[in-house]
Chain A
Amino acid sequence: MARTRSKGGPASTSADKTASTTAKAASTSTFTLPAESSNPPKLFVLPKNTSSSVRIITLENPRYGNPTRYLVCPETGSFYEFTKAAPPNKSTPRSWLLSSEKSEKEPALESQTIQSPDLYLATPYDPLFLLLPALFKSSNSKSDNQQRQYLSLDDYLDLIPNTDRHFSEILTLPNSLIEKVLEARLASVCDLVEMGDDTMYRPNESKLSAIILSKASKMAENLPPSMEEKFIKKALEAPVMGVVKDQPPPPPPTSTSSPEETASPSASESQSTVTTSSGTTPSTAVTTPATEEAPEPTFAPAITASSATISLQRLRTSLNFILSSYLPPFLSKTVLSSLPSETFTELEEYLTKLSKLRTEAAASRNIDINGGKRARDEDDDERLEKKRKMEQEEKVKKANTSRGVKQLAKVNTAGMMKLSAFFKKA
């Protein structure tokens, strides 16, 4: 998942759904192309139920500290971050071709192409993250809860970096719900104290951890397939040991997938619910799913992760993702350390076992390679040469050894301690 980013200038944001067209040069000659715009339009996918007061504002990214654009709807109090969906394969050039259908409500836009294949998605963003640096940075050095002061919401809002005055502007818009939303988010990670009409807040790390953890577990329920593959399957995959397990007997073919029946047109109709392509390729497509699974586990991995371990790994992956993309670096550590220590014990155990297995597997593979016949042939000469050299050296050594030394070598020194036991090394 790409990080929030929006590079489009203010010009590109004025139009909804697609950016404004740049030139109308094509009217004079059908063969002249319009000059390339210095600020090409960008394609955005924006949320549906926003009012006309929706703004794109620049705020400091709580994680990276650089100015980042956010979409804010003051009337609902919701924040959106921009996520750039990059094309999967950079080597193939891609572009957008846009054409709009005629509709009553919106004026039709001219059909156009956009060179950049990027797509910007506005996705909901928890404004809590915007508050975090202001909340925790002030008392960064003293992590002790007692040392922190109770402050009002306004005090915290003042702490949010506001270089372009965007933030204060959206707070003062008419019908703005933003302050209410921020207050609610603030309350969720703080201890509260009522002082007259005012409520005072003091950040609480354990509350923050709980919220981050619940976010992570929500994310873990539905990880995107690419993350699932890379961080869950690959990370937990045990090396396949060359142990051939007893092949389970192939399951008896079910009546519906027997070849005789699938060959008949009536059977293929009954299968259409099982596989989408069964209508056109009746026999092969239907029978494969039933039989292909059986012979696979002949090469079994050495250990398999339990479902609890897998879900823990999912949780940790999600947690790491949130910590590394939304929280200020100093807070990530605090949150991690305030998690209950036994949260990932089972996973850790599995992972240590796994790394041991992997080194073993790697070692055995090395032996296989070294034992290769080709390598042996090449080494033969070298080894003989070495042996000859060693023998020669031995000879020289023997010639340089006195008779006394040789005779002393035969002395039975059992019961005699080494001198290093009496005298220490200098």
Chain B
Amino acid sequence: MLEARLDTANLFKSAVDAIKDLVQDCNFDCNDSGIALQAMDNSHVALVSMMLKAEAFSPFRCDRNIALGVNLTSLTKVLRAAGRDDTLTLKAEDAPDVLNLVFEATAQDRISEYDLKLMDIDQEHLGIPDTEYAATISMPSAEFKRITTDLMAMSESVTIEATKDGVKFSSTGDIGNGSITLRQHTPVDKPNETVEIELSEPVALTFSLKYLTNFCKAQPLSNQVKLCLSAEVPLMVEYGLEGGSYLRFYLAPKIGDEE
């Protein structure tokens, strides 16, 4: 039996919104520590990993491990019915056929309830090791979103180059080339606009912009985004949430030919 209540549906809505553009169907694995999700896109070059810890919910109850196989497009359709500030309650039996979602708008005393049919999904689960990244860049999530959208105009791929001085995003395409460089800066009055670069050695890697713009759909989740890079390992894009919960994306770098 699963019962998990979120104070604002917004968190769950945004997370599902971002994931649904990467994968079609996936399992929400529920256990007493929270709700986790791991899935790869169809090409298996990107991976999304979500962890909503039990502390993010109030209350949270899950007696047994339950896998909720969900079609994310269908889930999005249901979630569209939830207002931003509604409380969201997820419920499921121990061997569930459906996921029960209840949205409560406390102000209007309005309660809506939906049952979403579940499916059996065979998924392979990858073990992701803890990695010491050569460069960890924290920046405003809105800034990252803007950079990816801007550079999409130039090319399909972006080279992220982290040095002591700053981080440079550059693209070269048919119509020309463009680049954006961010320097470290920590405004005291606006902590949300902090750009921080932790560097153990300079890195330069190229990634598919289309995937990165997809990741940026998680922007409403968090004001800050963390990019972690090391040579020849997947890039990690992390949207951190309160209480250690997170939504992470991994993307394999482009190696060799640009085309």
Q: A401-B73, A413-B208, A426-B126 are in contact. Are A419 and B24 (CB under 8 A)?
A: no
Interface residue tally on A, bucketed by range: 20 to 34
Q: Which of B183-214 contact A (CB under 8 A)?
A: 208, 210-211, 214
Q: Would you call B211 and A411 a contact (CB within 8 A)?
A: yes
Q: A400-B74, A415-B257, A416-B252 are in contact. Are A405 and B44 (CB under 8 A)?
A: no
Nearest CB of B to A394, in Å: 13
Nearest CB of B to A17, in Å: 79
Nearest CB of A to B56, in Å: 23
Q: Closest residue of chain B to A419, judged by CB? A: B47
Chain A residues, Cβ within 8 Å of B47: 419, 423
* A341 at the B interface (CB under 8 A): no
Chain B residues, Cβ within 8 Å of A374: none
Q: Cα distance A407–B125 when bound, in Å?
A: 24
Q: Cα distance A230–B119 when bound, in Å?
A: 58
Q: Closest residue of chain A to B21, judged by CB? A: A404
Q: Cα distance A411–B213 when bound, in Å?
A: 12
Q: Would you call B76 and A402 a contact (CB within 8 A)?
A: yes
Q: Cα distance A420–B234 when bound, in Å?
A: 11
Q: Cα distance A424–B125 when bound, in Å?
A: 9
Q: Cα distance A402–B259 when bound, in Å?
A: 26
Q: A400-B24, A405-B21, A425-B125 are in contact. Are A416 and B40 (CB under 8 A)?
A: no
Interface mask (A249-260 → B, CB under 8 Å = 1, otherwise 0): 000000000000
Q: Would you call B257 and A403 a contact (CB within 8 A)?
A: no
Chain A residues, Cβ within 8 Å of B116: none
Q: Closest residue of chain A to B206, judged by CB? A: A415
Chain A residues, Cβ within 8 Å of B126: 419-420, 423-426
Q: Pick the contact of A425: B127, B214, B250, B252 (CB < 8 A).
A: B127
Q: Cα distance A422–B22 when bound, in Å?
A: 19
Q: Which of A359-414 contact B (CB under 8 A)?
A: 399-405, 407-409, 411-414
Q: Pick the contact of B127: A401, A407, A423 (CB < 8 A).
A: A423
Q: Would you call B256 and A405 a contact (CB within 8 A)?
A: no
Chain A residues, Cβ within 8 Å of B46: 419
Interface mask (B86-99 → A, CB under 8 Å = 1, otherwise 0): 00000000000000
Q: Cα distance A358–B126 when bound, in Å?
A: 45
Q: Would you call A426 and B125 a contact (CB within 8 A)?
A: yes
Q: Would you call A419 and B127 a contact (CB within 8 A)?
A: no
Q: Cα distance A412–B257 when bound, in Å?
A: 12
Q: A400-B74, A416-B252, A424-B127 are in contact. Are A408 and B20 (CB under 8 A)?
A: no
* B233 at the A interface (CB under 8 A): yes
Q: Would you call B21 and A419 a contact (CB within 8 A)?
A: no
Q: Would you call B74 and A426 a contact (CB within 8 A)?
A: no
Q: Pick the contact of B45: A401, A419, A423 (CB < 8 A).
A: A419
Q: Would you call B250 and A419 a contact (CB within 8 A)?
A: yes
Q: Closest residue of chain A to B208, judged by CB? A: A411
Chain B residues, Cβ within 8 Å of A404: 20-22, 214, 217
* B108 at the A interface (CB under 8 A): no
Q: Closest residue of chain B to A424, judged by CB? A: B127
Q: A424-B127, A426-B125 are in contact. Are A407 and B24 (CB under 8 A)?
A: no
Inter-chain residue pair count (beta carbon < 8 A):
102
Q: Cα distance A400–B125 when bound, in Å?
A: 23
* A418 at the B interface (CB under 8 A): yes
Chain A residues, Cβ within 8 Å of B217: 404
Total interface residues on B, CB under 8 Å, equals 42
Q: Pick the contact of B255: A409, A411, A417 (CB < 8 A).
A: A417
Chain A residues, Cβ within 8 Å of B24: 400-402, 405
Nearest CB of B to A259, in Å: 79
Q: A400-B74, A423-B129 are in contact. Are A405 and B42 (CB under 8 A)?
A: yes
Q: Would you call B252 and A419 a contact (CB within 8 A)?
A: yes
* B223 at the A interface (CB under 8 A): no
* B254 at the A interface (CB under 8 A): yes
Q: Would you call B255 and A415 a contact (CB within 8 A)?
A: yes
Nearest CB of B to A36, in Å: 72
* B161 at the A interface (CB under 8 A): no
Q: Would you call B45 and A417 a contact (CB within 8 A)?
A: yes
Chain B residues, Cβ within 8 Å of A426: 125-127
Q: Pick the contact of A400: B73, B208, B253, B257 (CB < 8 A).
A: B73
Chain B residues, Cβ within 8 Å of A402: 20-21, 24, 72-73, 76
* B7 at the A interface (CB under 8 A): no
* B109 at the A interface (CB under 8 A): no
Q: Would you call A405 and B127 a contact (CB within 8 A)?
A: no
Q: Cα distance A414–B257 when bound, in Å?
A: 8
Q: Which of B121-156 contact A (CB under 8 A)?
A: 124-129, 156
Q: Cα distance A408–B251 when bound, in Å?
A: 13
Chain B residues, Cβ within 8 Å of A420: 44, 124, 126
Q: Would you call B210 and A408 a contact (CB within 8 A)?
A: yes
Nearest CB of B to A311, in Å: 57
Chain A residues, Cβ within 8 Å of B6: none
Nearest CB of B to A402, in Å: 5
Chain A residues, Cβ within 8 Å of B211: 408, 411
Q: Which of B1-47 contact A (CB under 8 A)?
A: 20-25, 40-47
Chain A residues, Cβ within 8 Å of B41: 405, 408
* B71 at the A interface (CB under 8 A): yes
Q: Cα distance A411–B233 when bound, in Å?
A: 20
Interface mask (B69-82 → A, CB under 8 Å = 1, otherwise 0): 00111101000000
Q: Would you call B253 and A416 a contact (CB within 8 A)?
A: yes
Chain A residues, Cβ within 8 Å of B255: 415-417
**Interface core residue of B73, B253, B256 (most chain A CB under 10 Å):** B73
Q: Cα distance A68–B70 when bound, in Å?
A: 74
11 A–B contacts from the bound complex (CB under 8 Å): A400-B24, A400-B73, A400-B74, A401-B24, A402-B73, A414-B259, A416-B208, A416-B254, A419-B126, A425-B125, A426-B126
Among all A-B residue pairs, the 3 with the closest Cβ atoms: A404-B21, A426-B127, A423-B126
Instruction: Contacts A408-B43, A416-B43, A417-B45 known; list 20 others, CB within 8 Å.
Output: A400-B24, A401-B24, A402-B21, A402-B76, A404-B21, A404-B214, A407-B210, A411-B43, A411-B211, A413-B208, A414-B259, A416-B255, A417-B252, A418-B44, A420-B44, A421-B252, A422-B250, A423-B250, A426-B126, A426-B127
